[in-house]
């Protein structure tokens, strides 16, 4: 995934409109070679609307076929470099799985040559048999070459043979009495002989004839032999067979165990990268899986081609790669507290005082309609202006707001609406950048590098992402998948040196009885990952509080309307100014009919606004600061205002009963509802019978209510089953016929 992300990131630097047709095709071939589908090429090509034709990429894609020297992702890297792109300083391009940092394992200044000598007892047939037994199954076809031709003083191999199995060759060698020429053919002593290290299908000797991409060749002919030997061993390459070529190089047949040719290419690139970084100057022409290597058991210009050793280094590719990655991880080394004690690093400065530091992460969680997006817009503006957000002062600086949910016009209008509702002059609009991505968002693991590239030179102190459900990758209930998702925020923080602030929604159901860190939907990773979690929970407003707020709003509207129209300040006491009843009476008596009608229209709007206000409480879970007391807020669209008076301080959120009392409260509520329902039914059925103008018999009324007369009469008597309102308003009496009747009390 990292490799593909880097290649897509590199494509950002290639403008299809600036490339000619050949270069355009080169990009497509490289993408196909590296395992992409045609849609990646199609999406990139669409950036050149003048020449882009839908479907053309797919048609062209199908004409690309494998070549012996295919175009790879490295070509795209070079194209990007030619156009001014360069990896960030200190950061290697993770291409084809290359190692993450400098990749150094071998210290060139201290490594000692590892000398070797020709075998004392020379057994040519045994050498070749040992090679075949080490690398091949008995039924696998082996390619080899003994015939050569000379060019400019060099001996080059012919195509050779590939129609015999390892088992057949080993059996023939066991019977040749040391004459391997009688088995594989005579060879020129000046040239030696060659052999292929991967099995073939018996039909040819090209890459497409390779049946198992098992081994790769590592060779260097520009270094001292002893140093080659030492580096191969120091790197613990998973070498199946190490052969001396009889000249200037060792041939290491290295296990790569690739599933197919594409994986073979990636692993060989990784292998060569490691070797090159550690001073083993490999011959890059040896990358092909059908490549020839030197055959042990023959001589070359009087020198023996022989096996130094088999099965050295790590036992498999996977173990070797894990070891390389482990040795070369980019993690810091442990440090002693005794060293740091008197020289502690400076803490990051607060971004939101008492809540969040610069370069850290914050999550704002809450249910739908809590105004979370407005809250993040308010925060963006507060940071840009260096003002207070909710109850906390903010450091002034540049902020990027990543809008994933709103269309561009709505988002821009919201920012202006919030500025005006806050009553702030827009003095630092240049500090706010908005990245509108509605309809264009991608998963966070792909968005992060794009965001980093666009923000790398902007000196943002905060990036706000709203909302994250648009970019979540994986199952939000999976801890490991959400940990990987949240790691993308760390990447943005680290690369840009800024805070990342985002919002998420609550899980379904009542939240009041939960702790703040347990309310966010999905895995607990959401609550535990950020350095600051601010959680919004709604407060249930009572009728008295709503009337009080309406009273204040009406009084304020009356005062505002009267200002500039009447000389009135001396006519009213302070108590009158706080009473909507008194203010309305005063206005009605002092204003003319036109003014009074205008004020009535204003007050209708004010009352409607009061009816729409909601109340909220912010609770915090902080990593860097002490826990703050809950902050109570009014949400008066489109902004939140802190309750500075304390009206909301005594209100409990819904469902805040302790867990042990919750069931009892639920049963009590159900019982009350049932009792009220029965009382209403009793009243209705009694009234219907009463309208008939005759006494209401208890038995007849009980039938209407689908109960028994005994149960009905119990409602009017003493005991647990009595219904208070029924007993208070109705009574039983005995008729002359001896039957029970129901009548209203006088």
DSSP letters of 202-236?
SS-SSGGGBS-EEEEEEE-SSS-HHHHHHHHHHTT
Predicted TM-score (pTM) of this structure: 0.54
Cα–Cα distance measured from residue 271 to residue 98, given in angstroms and rounded to the nearest whole number: 8
Helix, strand counts (H, E) of the chain:
25, 27
pLDDT tens per residue, range 447-496: 888 999 899 889 999 999 988 888 877 676 677 677 778 888 999 999 99
% of the chain at pLDDT higher than 70: 87
Quick check: 257 pLDDT over 70? yes
| Average pLDDT over every residue of 290-296 | 95
Instruction: Give the per-residue pLDDT at 330.
Output: 66
Confidence band, pLDDT 50/70/90 cuts, at residue 705: confident
Closest alpha carbon to 229 in 248, 203, 207: 248
Instruction: Give the per-residue pLDDT at 413.
Output: 97
| Average pLDDT over every residue of 110-131 | 88
Instruction: Give the per-residue pLDDT at 427.
Output: 94
pLDDT tens per residue, range 16-58: 888 888 888 888 888 888 778 788 888 889 888 888 888 888 8
Quick check: 263 pLDDT over 90? yes
Quick check: 92 pLDDT over 90? no
Instruction: Give the per-residue pLDDT at 98.
Output: 40
Looking at residue 440, what DSSP letter applies? T
pLDDT tens per residue, range 425-454: 999 999 999 999 998 878 888 888 899 989
Instruction: Give the per-residue pLDDT at 93.
Output: 41
> Please, are residues 499 and 362 in contact by the beta-carbon 8 Å criterion?
yes
Cα–Cα distance measured from residue 130 to residue 306, given in angstroms and rounded to the nearest whole number: 10
Instruction: Give the per-residue pLDDT at 459.
Output: 94
Q: What residues contact residue 498 under an 8 Å CB cut-off, 6+ apart?
A: 358, 359, 455, 460, 461, 462, 463, 492
Instruction: Give the per-residue pLDDT at 103.
Output: 55
| Average pLDDT over every residue of 217-223 | 90
Closest alpha carbon to 354 in 617, 616, 615, 629: 629
Least confident of 76-90, 195-209, 226-240, 473-487: 76-90
pLDDT tens per residue, range 647-676: 998 887 755 545 455 566 667 767 777 777
Confidence band, pLDDT 50/70/90 cuts, at residue 394: very high
Quick check: 88 pLDDT over 60? no
Confidence band, pLDDT 50/70/90 cuts, at residue 160: very high
Q: What residues contact residue 667 under an 8 Å CB cut-off, 6+ apart?
A: none
Distances (CA, A) of 243 to 116, 125, 240, 310: 11, 15, 10, 9
Instruction: Give the per-residue pLDDT at 4.
Output: 45
Q: Which residues pair with 634 in a beta bridge?
A: 615, 641
Q: Which residues pair with 532 in a beta bridge?
A: 362, 622
Instruction: Give the per-residue pLDDT at 266.
Output: 93
Quick check: 89 pLDDT over 50? no
In 501-592, alpha helices (H): 525-528, 543-562, 574-577, 580-590
| Average pLDDT over every residue of 88-114 | 55
Instruction: Give the per-residue pLDDT at 730.
Output: 84
Instruction: Give the per-residue pLDDT at 1.
Output: 36
Instruction: Give the per-residue pLDDT at 3.
Output: 46
Maximum average pLDDT range among 349-358, 691-700, 719-728: 349-358
pLDDT tens per residue, range 571-627: 677 777 788 888 898 888 888 899 999 999 999 999 999 999 999 999 999 999 999
pLDDT tens per residue, range 123-134: 999 999 999 999
Cβ-in-10-Å burial (0-12, 13-18, 19+) of 223 comes to middle
Cα–Cα distance measured from residue 439 to residue 403, given in angstroms and rounded to the nearest whole number: 10
pLDDT tens per residue, range 327-377: 766 677 788 899 889 889 999 999 999 999 999 999 998 888 889 999 999
Instruction: Give the per-residue pLDDT at 99.
Output: 40
Confidence band, pLDDT 50/70/90 cuts, at residue 507: low
Better pLDDT: 526 or 530: 530
> Please, are residues 431 and 398 in contact by the beta-carbon 8 Å criterion?
yes
What is the average pLDDT score of the chain?
A: 85
Quick check: 520 pLDDT over 70? no
Instruction: Give the per-residue pLDDT at 500.
Output: 96
Cα–Cα distance measured from residue 52 to residue 401, given in angstroms and rounded to the nearest whole number: 32
């Amino acid at each position: 995934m990292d490799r593909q992300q880097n290649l897509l990131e590199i494509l950002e630097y290639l403008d299809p409109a600036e490339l000619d047709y050949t270069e355009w095709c080169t990009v497509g071939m490289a993408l196909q070679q590296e395992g992409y589908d045609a849609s990646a090429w199609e999406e990139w090509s669409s950036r050149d609307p003048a020449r882009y034709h839908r479907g053309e990429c797919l048609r062209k894609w199908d004409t690309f076929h494998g070549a012996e020297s295919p175009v790879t992702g490295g070509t795209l890297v070079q194209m990007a470099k030619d156009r001014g792109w360069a990896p960030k300083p200190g950061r290697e391009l993770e291409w084809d799985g290359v190692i993450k940092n400098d990749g150094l394992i071998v210290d060139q200044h201290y490594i000692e040559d590892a000398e070797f000598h020709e075998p004392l007892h020379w057994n040519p047939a045994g050498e070749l048999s040992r090679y075949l037994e080490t690398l091949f199954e008995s039924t696998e076809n082996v390619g080899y070459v003994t015939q050569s031709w000379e060019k400019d003083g060099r001996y080059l191999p012919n195509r050779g043979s590939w129609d015999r199995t390892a088992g057949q060759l080993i059996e023939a060698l066991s019977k040749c009495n040391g004459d391997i020429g009688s088995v594989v053919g005579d060879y020129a002593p000046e040239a030696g002989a060659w052999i292929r290290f991967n099995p073939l299908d018996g039909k040819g000797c090209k890459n497409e004839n390779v049946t198992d991409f098992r081994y790769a060749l590592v060779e260097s002919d520009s270094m001292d032999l002893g140093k080659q030997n030492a580096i191969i061993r120091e790197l613990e390459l998973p070498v199946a067979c190490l052969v001396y070529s009889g000249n200037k190089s060792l041939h290491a047949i290295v296990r790569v165990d690739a599933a197919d040719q594409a994986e073979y290419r990636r692993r060989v690139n990784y292998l060569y990268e490691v070797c090159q970084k550690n001073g083993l100057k490999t011959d890059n022409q040896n990358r092909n899986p059908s490549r020839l290597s030197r055959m042990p058991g023959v001589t070359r210009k009087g020198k023996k081609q022989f096996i130094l050793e088999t099965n050295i280094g790590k036992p498999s590719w996977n173990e070797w790669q894990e070891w390389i990655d482990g040795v070369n991880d980019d993690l810091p080394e442990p440090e002693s507290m005794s060293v740091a004690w008197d020289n502690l690093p400076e803490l990051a400065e607060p971004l939101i005082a008492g809540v969040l530091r610069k370069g850290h992460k914050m999550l704002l969680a809450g249910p739908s309609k809590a105004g979370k997006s407005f809250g993040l817009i308010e925060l963006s503006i507060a940071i840009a202006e260096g003002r207070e957000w909710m109850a906390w002062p903010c450091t002034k600086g540049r902020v990027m707001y990543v809008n994933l949910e709103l269309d561009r016009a709505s988002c821009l209008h919201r920012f202006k609406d919030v500025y005006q509702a806050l009553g702030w002059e827009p003095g630092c609009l240049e500090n706010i950048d908005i990245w509108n991505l509605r309809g264009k968002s991608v998963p966070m693991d792909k968005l992060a590098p794009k965001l980093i590239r666009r923000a790398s030179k902007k000196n943002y102190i905060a990036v706000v992402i709203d909302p994250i459900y648009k970019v979540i990758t994986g199952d939000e209930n999976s801890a490991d998948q959400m940990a990987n998702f949240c790691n993308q925020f760390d990447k943005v923080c680290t690369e840009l040196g800024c805070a990342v602030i985002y919002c998420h929604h609550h899980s379904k159901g009542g939240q009041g009885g939960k702790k703040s860190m347990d309310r966010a939907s999905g895995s607990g990773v959401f609550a535990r990952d950020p350095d600051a979690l601010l959680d919004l929970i709604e407060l249930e407003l009572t009728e008295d509080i709503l009337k009080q707020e309406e009273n204040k709003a009406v009084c304020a509207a009356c005062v505002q309307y009267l200002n500039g129209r009447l000389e009135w300040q001396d006519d009213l006491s302070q108590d009158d100014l706080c009473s909507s009843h008194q203010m309305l009476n005063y206005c009605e008596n002092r204003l003319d009919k036109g003014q009074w009608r205008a004020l009535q229209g204003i007050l209708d709007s004010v009352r409607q606004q009061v009816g729409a206000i909601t109340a909220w409480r912010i609770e915090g879970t902080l990593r860097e600061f002490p826990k703050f007391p809950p902050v109570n807020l009014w949400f008066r669209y489109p902004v939140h205002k802190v309750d500075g008076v304390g009206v909301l301080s005594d209100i409990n959120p819904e469902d805040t009963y302790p867990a042990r009392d919750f069931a009892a409260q639920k049963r009590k509520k159900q019982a009350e509802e049932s009792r009220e329902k029965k009382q209403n039914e009793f009243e209705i059925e009694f009234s219907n019978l009463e309208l008939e103008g005759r006494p209401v018999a208890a038995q007849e009324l009980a039938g209407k209510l689908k109960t028994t007369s005994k149960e009905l009469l119990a409602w009017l008597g003493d005991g647990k089953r009595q219904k208070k309102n029924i007993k208070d308003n109705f009574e039983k009496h005995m008729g002359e016929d001896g039957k029970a009747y129901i009548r209203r009390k006088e």
